[in-house]
Structure 1
Amino acid sequence: MEAVIFDIDGTLLQSDANDDALYLAAVRDVLGNVNLRPSWAMYTQFTATGILAEILNDNAIDATLETVAAVRDHFVASVRLHVSEYGPFAEIPGAREFVQSLHNSARHRIAYATGGWQESALLKLSISGFPVQGVPLSTSDDHFERQEIMLYALRQLDGVYDRVTYYGDGHWDAVAAKSLGWNFVPVGRKLDGLTSYESSAA
């Protein structure tokens, strides 16, 4: 039995650029003209909660539950507005069919592990037609560290697996998968990885 765990933005959906822009806008709208590091790569935690914690620390703003919730809720509302105006985010070619085939397979169990927040992740997956019923989803609401998010997804699968494979589009995904001893499948041009799932088979 193999556990297959997927990142979402940039891995299953062509949503990463919009996601970054909406996240930045939510931070600015809620916190004001805070100082940000020159690039996302300069943050140490590549998750919505982790980056926000570093932004708050850099600007000497208390990381209260209320502040974090305000940014998260504003971001989720922005994602809802975006999909209501423009429709679902486009999938990476063949991604939905590939994920569904693994979900239907007796030899695989699937889960999602994303650095984004749960409500927005679930919205994006469901509106784009990916299986969500009965599929574990681990997010930045569960932990601020990507590796821990990935582990939580595996724990929710609640089984013993001969192999664990993680699909991701970021360098941080590759680093986390290697640290956990998981098989890693790169997705997207940033990692010279898959640009289509159409030739993949369950």
Structure 2
Amino acid sequence: MRAALLLIDFQSGFDAPGWGARNNPQAEARAARLPGHWRGARAPVIHVRHLSREQGSPLTPETGGTAFKPGLGPQDGEPVFGKRVNSTFIGTALEAHLHEAGLGALVICGLTTPHCVSTTVRMAANLGFDVTLAHDACAAFATNADTGWKVGTAPMDAQAIHDSAVSHLHGEFARAVDVEELLDTAP
């Protein structure tokens, strides 16, 4: 089954310093290897960007934070879906687009692993899509201790957050693989 490549939220707003410490500084470089491979195989490449409505968010058109990162933007004819929530399937025509194109499989990567990537992977699997997660083309940010969830909780390291998110997805909602394997086997 041919898989579409779904690139989630590779946008400049995630470079803002307010996000804090991040794991996997090579996520974008790894992800940028995938579109060319998909295009060379004439397989579909789909782009997603977060269009925040939160005041002060770096992910708004007004801040310039919705611009795609270099090497990860669409080429002519590649669909772009703008979302306002974590799931790429809510409030967009992504599901209809995939069905109309006869696509039942997705390879997903993006920012951030525990948020928009995880939510989209889970929902895609629940909708019946066969999902592969390019885990080394994703990244997460550390949490701070003052999240309001539990007083006295220590900050969580970005790598631990990423690893935990991938661990929860692999086997249940997706097959987690690295970019090198995808370049050898997909689309």
TM-score, structure 1 as length reference? 0.47
From the CA coordinates, give the structure whose radius of gyration is larger. Answer: 1
Which structure has greater helix proportion?
1
Which structure has greater strand proportion?
2
Return the structure number with greater relative CO, CA threshold 8 A, min gap 6: 1
TM-score, structure 2 as length reference? 0.50
